[in-house]
Amino acid sequence: MTTHDEHAHPELGFWRKYIFSTDHKIIGIQYIITAMAMAVVGGVLSMLMRLQLGWPGTLWPSLENIFPTGFAGGVMEPGFYLSLVTMHGTIMVFFLFTAVLTGGFGNFLIPLQIGARDMAFPLLNALSYWTFLLSCITILGALFATGGPPLGGWTAYAPLSAVPAMGPGQGDGMTLWIVAIALFTASGLMGGLNYVTTLLTMRTKGMSMMRLPLTQWALFITAILGTLAFPVLLAAGILLTFDRIGGTSFFVPAGLFLADGTLIDHSGGHPLLWQHLFWFFGHPEVYIVLLPAMGIASDILSTFARKPIFSYKMMVYSMSAIAFLSFIVWGHHMFLSGMNPLLGSLFTLTTLLIAIPSAVKTFNWIGTILGARIQFTVPMLFALGFVSTFISGGLSGIFLGTSASDIAMHDTYFVVGHFHLVMAVAPLFAAFAGIYFWFPKMFGRMMNMTAGKVHFWISFVGVNCVFMTMHASGVAGHLRRIYDPTQYAFLEPVYGMNQFISISAFVLGAAQILFLVNFFASIWFGPKASVNPWNATTLEWTVPSPPGHGNFGPELPVVERWAFDYSVPGAKEDFVMQTEAPARVESS
């Protein structure tokens, strides 16, 4: 527990201050930078995939030097392609999105925005980061495992994942995958315990739940989702490990043959069980990624529209509704895995119900910016980009959530386009918005806004070129995980589309280098930031940039109003800080 006499403590050395820190701000930044490093790896993997899909079978002698087995003979190996798919998905879902949004922004923002000096258990928090780093190293280790990285997809479907002899990467690579995910789960649990406890018990005076910024509500609900969903994945992972090393048959049915004709010595298990357990975690995971993005976007939209958020209460209720519904929709991932059609209709119903709270949120965002004199800053552009991609990606989800149309679309690029827009690009844009927005508070300097605008526009056009086109190629029948589309004559019309997607993806990838350069250069060379560069209202903007250890001065702030007092009639400025007491005029 941090008390204010710690202000008198001498400055800590570099290692204690920036590396082995228990300060939530440093831990948050550590999460963000680690996740950025993982994003670079995940991004490079996707570029390699696009290289193969755009120009299948082309000779790349230079790549053979880097990946002697993956590009044996200069051409990408099919198994290597599947490993790329698997590792890209795993790294991006867990080690980028979950980490940057809950680990990064959660740690950095929760104490600052609720008026606390640190998390409830700073040491547990630090432990959570170091466990996360260990899991990052483990998953990167899977890239170099004997036999290659796992190739069963980020969903690790059994029995492919349950029998080490199934494929070259399903041995050590898959084992490392499970270990990495288990470590990640442990790290997430430590973080989640801290977030829930801190948010409920450490709010400063006057910070009632209904005065929390929406980012905080989102992080709170996300932490609850995480503590409920991840343990189920852990249970599934333990059972999977037993299948792999203990010889049990939880997920492996009888009568399976390996590619070389050997009969597997397992019987009685059921691959569907893995899918049920995985997706019971997997669908809430979508919202573990999306909810913080929604919260961040809501706060930023309101700030730069200079208007209060439209219908704060409905925002909170709809987030809660989404969180609840996310636990009863997992079957829509399994419509084609063998499901009673009646059950399929039920899952269709619950899935489409999510459209209601999602639409409530979307209309509220539009209501917030409607008629506003919008300040088109970089964070605002990315927040608007979030809303846009959330709508595009969300709408195509309706086709996939309906079992009848999903039967046609399943396992095509329509699915790939859909989930990338809605749960990869949208959260990514919100994360960018958050980084541009809170960067001054993190490092005391501003990022370069011209570079930021270029970054936004290339990214925004780029993602639409990539993922909207994928919707089209998916409807044309382009299957999801195929290594070489030229093997299928009926796909001939989409070869051109594939090349267009690939070129767009390369441009999109290159634009992210601009962001990375901007980020790291601005840490040292950016213009100094003032206390409140965006004229925002929340508590973190009342303290110096960057805030000192313990965040607030000798006294914790007292909150007097909600977080959205923008353009209040009669106020001196177009924003009123949360700490500003209401006028002592008797209310009429």
The full DSSP string for 52-105 is HHHSTT---HHHHHH-TTTTGGGS--HHHHHHHHHHHHHIIIIIIIIIIIIIII
Nearest 10 degrees: Cα torsion 139, 296, 233, 337: -100
Please report, as a single letter, which amino acid is at residue 246. G
Using a CB cutoff of 8 Å and minimum separation of 24, what contacts does 449-453 make? Answer: 449/377, 449/378, 451/514, 451/515, 451/517, 451/518, 452/378, 452/381, 452/515, 452/518, 453/378, 453/381
Q: What distance in Å separates the CA atoms of residue 439 and residue 525, rounded to the nearest whole number?
A: 13
Helices (H), 306-377: 312-325, 341-353, 355-369
* Local structure of 514: helix, strand or coil: helix
CB 393 within 8 A of CB 425: yes
| Beta carbon of residue 273, minimum distance to other proteins (angstroms, whole number) | 5
Rounded least distance, CB 421 to other proteins, Å: 30
Contacts with 34 (C-beta within 8 Å, 6 or more apart), sequence order: 99, 129, 132, 133, 136
Looking at residue 213, its amino acid is P
Contact at 8 Å (CB) between 234 and 124? no
Q: Is 73 left (phi over 0), alpha (psi -120 to 50) or beta?
A: left
| CA 558/CA 135 separation, integer angstroms | 39
Phi and psi, residue 268, nearest 5°: 90, -10
Tally the residues of the chain: 588
- Which residues, 6 or more positions from 383, have their beta carbon under 8 angstroms from its beta carbon? 296, 297, 300, 301, 304, 429, 430, 433
Cis peptide before 168 (omega within 30 of 0): no
| Binding interface with other proteins (CB under 8 A) | 114-115, 120-121, 189, 192-194, 196-197, 200-209, 211, 227-232, 234-236, 238-239, 242, 246-250, 266-270, 273, 276-277, 280, 308, 312, 556, 559-562, 564-565, 568, 576, 581-582, 584, 586-587
Of 274, 182, 277, 265, nearest to 229 by C-alpha is 277
Query: Cβ contacts of residue 260 below 8 Å, gap of 6+?
Result: none
Rg of the chain on CA atoms, in Å: 24
What is the distance between the alpha carbons of residues 578 and 547, in angstroms, rounded to a whole number?
17
In 3D, which of 249, 212, 228, 236 has the Cα closest to residue 157?
A: 236
Residue listed under structure tokens 């709170």: 220
Which of 81, 39, 43, 42 lies closest to 60 in space, CA to CA? 81
Helix and strand element counts for the chain (H, E)? 19, 0
Q: How far apart are CA 408 and CA 404, in angstroms?
A: 8
Question: CB-wise, 155 or 377, nearer to other proteins?
Answer: 155
Euclidean distance between CA atoms 568 and 287, whole angstroms: 33
Q: Least CB distance from residue 115 to other proteins, whole Å?
A: 7
Q: Token digits for 249?
A: 């048959």
